[in-house]
A and B are shown apart, each in its own frame.
Chain A
Amino acid sequence: MAHEQKDRDAYLKVRSITKNFGGITALQEVSFEAGYGEFISVLGPSGCGKTTLLRVIAGLEIQNAGRIFVEDQDMSLFPVSRRSVGIVFQSYALFPNLNVVQNIAYGLKGKMKGSDIQKRVSELLHLVGLDGYGSQFPAQLSGGQQQRVALARAIAPSPKLLLLDEPLSALDAKVRTRLRSEIRRLQRRLGVTTVMVTHDQEEALTMADRILVMDRGFLVQDGTPHDIYDRPATPFVASFIGSMNFIENAVRADAGFYRVGDHRLQVHGDNGASGLGEGSRVVLAIRPEDVMIGPNGGTDPNTLNGRVEGMEYRGPVFRVGFRLALGDGRDIRIESEVPTEKIRRLAVREAMEVPVRFPTDRLRVYAA
């Protein structure tokens, strides 16, 4: 019942999309939904199928199976021209022989009166902050400005969906950061439902309302940026977004406790693995910034003795590697992110012995 309810609210519905190219499966039963005005980011390494997903939504590729609905209308077999999508490509694909105004007005010709087109274009120029640039040619603009022209051109015909294909990857780092928030603000203001494909996790985390993480054609996690980072559904998601320490060969002892070598590690609420039985093999995971180091005694649970093995200075923080003996002859390496201030206070040095603690609520459990 709850599912039905959600259906009615969803603006864009993607249902079990499968797409093959020859013998290669690019998309495997991918399903997701987006509410009106939501900003969805599709994130994954190259070759994971994210661009194919965008092209299927746009109608540039036709899926082998599955359906796509917008406003409850089945668009599954519509040609691109009838889907009412605005697309911004990585290259922007601005027409080099047309000036900014002509580029933005390109999709409006014949669909509006001339005077209305003029009004709409100057409105859009203002919206993207390019007043006065109307008669310039694309090559005369900076990368960031070209980006905004491409965006204005895409939204000019008031599309139902805005599709962004790696829209910022051609820009240098500074401009990229600024444009992130600019695009986000613009998107909120227009309230246009947006799907953005990116391989840049930071871009996805900062811009999107929701992130879809893809791997080898599968949608592996669908959640808010906070969900994705804090509770990654699989080891793949965990290592793809941010970095993660994995402690292999752990075995579930009893509810909330896991054996690793001679140690017993406590995990608050069995984070992520409530269904596992006793004796199951698992992998424990913890993010480097969650790994705590001494000196507050060895009394807290989950405290092991570590030996500093490699320190990397990164300005506000140090990346410190620890070697932890597990007591059964094995040892593991754990990366930790420690504030520079703390390193200074504790006078941490190479080869120093330091107690290392894994907070019980920060450990995650994955079935091995």
Chain B
Amino acid sequence: MLFTPGGQCRPNSIPATLDTDLWIRRGLILLVCLWLSVAVVLPLFQLLSMSLTDDAGNFVGLANFIYYFNTPALSGSLGNSLFVSVVTMSVSVVLGFLYAYGLTRTAIPAKTFFRGAAMMPLFAPTLLNGIALVYLFGRQGLITRGFFGTLPGWDIGLYGPVGIIIAEVIFTFPQAVLILSIALRLSDARLYEASDSLGASKIRTFFRVTLPGVKYGLISAVFICFILAFTDFGAPKVVGGDYNILATDIYKQVIGQQNFVMGAVVSVVLLVPTVIAFLVDRLAQRRQVALIAAKSTPLHPTPTPVRDRLFLAYCLLVVFLILGFFATAVFASLVKVWPYDLSLSLTHYDFERMGGGGYAAFFNSIRMSFYSAVAGTALAFGSAYLVEKSRGMRGLRQGAYFLSMLPLALPGLVIGLAYIFFFNATGWEMFGVRIPNPFNFIYATMGILVLSNVVHFYTVGFLTATTALKQLDREFETVSESMAVPFYRTFFRVTAPVCLPAILEIGMYYFVNSMATVSAVIFLYSADIPLASVAIANMDDAGDIAPACAMSVLIVLTNIGVRILYGILTRSVKAKTERWMAR
């Protein structure tokens, strides 16, 4: 820092301002803080203050919350939400742990395939989880009707907590597998050798070495699964029935009853447990990082026939269920009239007769996801670069880092609702002065949709970029500076090219999630910009479940296509990188 106070020597021959590079960087980090403040902090603030006012906009303190908790019809949803999320989380973490254990600690074959197949649900909107369940366990479901009467039927009572929990388990399972495989892979082989040599039994080793080793991964998986299930909107919308939960309540309050204040109140009720879970998860992750810092010897599982066969059977079963689940959806979308006329046709893919926007909505979604991917990747990577690779300016950098973590704690519905309140406001009265809203122009445009996605998925992109940047030599910037090369040239010539794999990954993540998300955008889309995921929700509302299913399948196919494209691009980038490495 050039302007640290103190010191008797302040040579005046050269003003410090000549360090233009430093000032550009400072300005940019300030911009990062500024845009995150406008896109995250201010809308959130607007939402919070909305929850403390009455319909006329007068401040009423906690009156709304007192009313909420004194009205069982409303507050019952909190218990329901907690119940389904805790059950989902328990089931998901147990299933995910076994699966991840199979992938990392046993000698089963085809691990790449198993890893990929488990990730399938990540490409689908959660609405599809609900729709596929309807086709399996709904009133006319494949299993409810015993495969169209060939077997005895089984009605599991889908609509309500059962359906929500199954859908959310499918939704959260890949996340649990991802987090737990990373944790399980990091374990130190020497600990196991030590345990073996001390004559500990397998079971003792599992409880004394394996579980403590993945403690933080487990904590993280527990809280991430909880947050995902607690805040998801898509699946409960389809299979929730009369079982009220917070996410669907917000939607009903805002869209159904136009009660924005109560919508804001429920949002805050949803937000509080989410933020707590988020903080616990952050804490756990920080500990996990400290755990890896020590050098360790990677563990190579040795074949153990009985164990390996058991895990292979388990993994096959899981993959069969996941693929069967999505196959049902694809099949249902192609069937003429489920369950009466099972001949195949593409009628449901002809959305012309349907509400929701049809192919226009689908292509809007693609456009929106593409813009979100480009803008989000640029912002996430650029901000991570400025925060990670600047010297000095500690306060600013920490501020930018904190703001960048914030979006991860915000459910999509909360972002969507906060954006309505903030961007739709024409202005604010402050100390008797009217300030017009300079951001109002973005309301009901493609811009606000893209912005909501950029913010919604920002933190994961930011963290991916930070991890990649941390692997670069800290002195690249210093060396360039000493040679009087401006930082942006080094950024474009060295930093960005070397981080290209991470940049592609962030882009893919943005695209796939923007395609599938419904929660934030359902409040923000306008009639002239319909979206595919919103169309699914609306068609499902109207009882057009087959076309809704067809639209979901289109989204999944698009996302798989993008994932394949990502794979190809990554491979060609890798080939280039290997050229740098080849001897």
Contact = CB atoms under 8 A, between A and B. Distances in A.
A191 interface: no
Contacts of A138: 580
A214 interface: no
Given A74-B11, A77-B14, A81-B21, A157 B579 contact: no
Nearest to A137: B580
Interface in A85-138: 85-87, 89, 91, 93, 95-98, 106-107, 109, 111, 137-138
B478 A80 contact: yes
Contacts of B479: 87, 89, 93, 153-154
A58 interface: yes
Given A91-B473, A97-B498, A97-B580, A77 B483 contact: no
A74 B21 contact: no
Contacts of A107: 480, 482-485
Interface stretch (B1-9, B332-340, B563-571): B1-9
A236 interface: no
A60 B483 contact: no
Nearest to A64: B7
A86 B479 CA distance: 8
Interface string B22-53: 10000000000000000000000000000000
Contacts of B353: none
A64 B4 contact: yes
B69 interface: no
Contacts of A109: 485, 489
B581 A82 contact: no
Contacts of A111: 484
Nearest to A86: B482
A77 B475 CA distance: 21
Nearest to A150: B479
A231 B484 CA distance: 42
Question: Which of A67, A82, A89 has most chain B Cβ within 10 Å?
Answer: A89
Contacts of B21: 79, 81
Interface in A208-262: none
A66 B10 CA distance: 9
Contacts of B8: 65
Contacts of A139: 580-581
Question: Which of B19, B482, B485 has most chain A Cβ within 10 Å?
Answer: B482
A198 interface: no
B476 interface: yes
Given A81-B21, A139-B580, A139-B581, A157 B7 contact: no
Question: Which of A66, A79, A154, A159 has most chain B Cβ within 10 Å?
Answer: A79
B497 interface: yes
A63 B9 CA distance: 9
A172 to B, nearest CB: 18
Interface residues of B, number: 40
B2 to A, nearest CB: 6
A26 interface: no
Contacts of B484: 81-82, 107, 111, 157
Question: Which of B6, B16, B476, B484 has most chain A Cβ within 10 Å?
Answer: B484
Interface residues of A, number: 42
Interface in A142-166: 153-154, 156-157, 159
B583 interface: yes
Nearest to B475: A93
A58 B498 CA distance: 26
A251 to B, nearest CB: 43
B399 to A, nearest CB: 19
Contacts of B579: 137
Contact of A106 (B6, B475, B485): B485
Contacts of B286: none
B294 interface: no
Nearest to B13: A74
Given A87-B479, A87-B482, A97 B497 contact: yes
A80 to B, nearest CB: 4
B483 A157 contact: yes
Contacts of A32: none
A97 B494 contact: yes
Interface in B220-241: none
Contacts of B11: 67, 74, 76-77
A64 B478 contact: no
A80 B478 CA distance: 8
Contacts of A365: none
B352 interface: no
Contacts of A78: 14, 18
A96 B580 contact: yes
Question: Which of B6, B489, B494, B581 has most chain A Cβ within 10 Å?
Answer: B494
A58 B10 CA distance: 17
Contact of A80 (B4, B9, B473, B482): B482
8 residue pairs, one from A and one from B, having the closest CB atoms: A107-B483, A79-B19, A93-B475, A81-B484, A65-B7, A137-B580, A80-B481, A89-B475
25 contacts: A58-B478, A62-B2, A63-B7, A64-B6, A65-B6, A65-B7, A65-B8, A74-B13, A76-B9, A77-B14, A77-B16, A79-B22, A81-B485, A82-B484, A86-B483, A93-B473, A93-B478, A95-B498, A96-B498, A97-B580, A98-B494, A107-B485, A139-B581, A154-B482, A157-B483
